[in-house]
Amino acid sequence: MSAKALTRKLVATAGFLIAVCWLWPDTGSATPLIQSTLGTSGPGNFAILGLGGVNVTDTDLTLNGPGQTLGNVGVASTGNIALNSSTPPAIIGNLFLGNTATTSGSAGGCNPPGAGCNQISGTTFFNQDVFLNGAVADALAANALFNSNAGMFTVDQTISGNITSSQTLQCAAGDTVCVILVTGNVQLGNNDILTLNGTTAGESFILEVAGNITLNGGNNFSGGQIRLGGTLDSSDDAVIKAQKVSTGDNVTASGGSSNPCSAASQGNLGTTLGAVLCPGGIDTGNTLPNAFIQGILLDTQGGVGFSPGMVIGEIIGGGNEIRLVSGSQVINNVQATTGVPAPATVLLLGGGLVGIGFLRNVLRRR
């Protein structure tokens, strides 16, 4: 591929991700409980946060293939990050590394400080133990508080066994914190969509899964998904909490990618998601993973392996790995209003996300 053709592809891809964040529902209505409980580990700071290893020696992050992450990435000591995106930058945002966190793959070009690295659009910050250790502590504290066994929240519904087909989960109207516990696995394939439905304005939704979460997306976004609905209109309205302690992956996704702008995809996604994943109805030729999760994926003691998969929100992981390959995506809509640096190739498309966030905040006050 020529340099000119590659530049056009980067502009199209990064511009598409910016448009996704810009058109995603306003996060001003997001509920404060989840944000405040997560503290510095939350989506206001990170799209991906590797906790450095909780029940394992370290958490390794792998981002390769054509996928990209929009938002900041944190790798706490003693984790490692390997960046090998075939459509760099792999991270449209900043990278924060703990004092003993290491880099490999193309990310090795980001070390020592000041060296150029086309895998990261923003800045690489080294020796960040003070910042990241605080974020890790906040994530682990939030994980304990979100645990129904801790007594902070009352379990509204317990689903014994597995979820293996389309369902809508919700609590009674007026319940501002909905907690649902699944004692088995969540296994969703083609035509299987699990909808977390809000019934009350300002509601927070916590889905606890004791077993594995396995998503196998169907063609044209026909299933293998966990979606938000009803009053849950922002990714930080919901936490999908994987509770299993594992030295392997307990959250996995596969099933290929599709063009979100095709007629079949638009029909399966519905009006709201269709507009988000194909902003303005403009077909740029980008494809996105069929299997996805909307919300904050909190998996402190197990691995995450997507090949491919997508999270619209944030991944917080402390297991053996957070492996995003084969076109996997993380789209952090919250940081669209808090300042994610735009890559140089898309500055002319709108001044970068910092300017967009500033403008949205100004307009919101009017």
pLDDT digits 0-9 by tens, 6-45: 444 444 444 444 444 433 443 444 457 999 999 999 999 9
* β 257-258/288-289 pair status: antiparallel
Domain that holds residue 210: 3-365
Question: What total of structural domains would you count in the chain?
Answer: 1
CA-derived radius of gyration, the chain: 19
Is it the case that residue 349 has pLDDT exceeding 50?
no
Residue 293 burial class via C-beta count within 10 angstroms: exposed 0-12, middle 13-18, buried 19 and up: buried
Quote the CA–CA distance of 310 and 328 in Å, as a whole number. Answer: 6
Please say if the pLDDT value at position 115 is more than 90.
no
The runs of H, that is alpha helices, within the chain are: 3-23, 32-38, 129-146, 263-277, 352-365
Q: How far apart are CA 47 and CA 271, in angstroms?
A: 25
Mean pLDDT of the 356-361 span: 31
**Rounded CA separation 182/170 (Å):** 13
Burial of 219 (0-12, 13-18, 19+ CB in 10 A): middle
| pLDDT per residue as tens digits for the range 120-144 | 888 889 999 999 999 999 999 999 9
Task: Give Cα separations from 52 to 122, 139, 141, 353 (angstroms).
Answer: 22, 12, 15, 28
pLDDT confidence of residue 113: 45
Residue 109 confidence (pLDDT): 54
Arithmetic mean of pLDDT, 225-240? 94
Q: How confident is the model at residue 84 (pLDDT cuts 50, 70, 90)?
A: confident
> Which residue in 339, 342, 322 sits closest to 74, CA to CA?
322
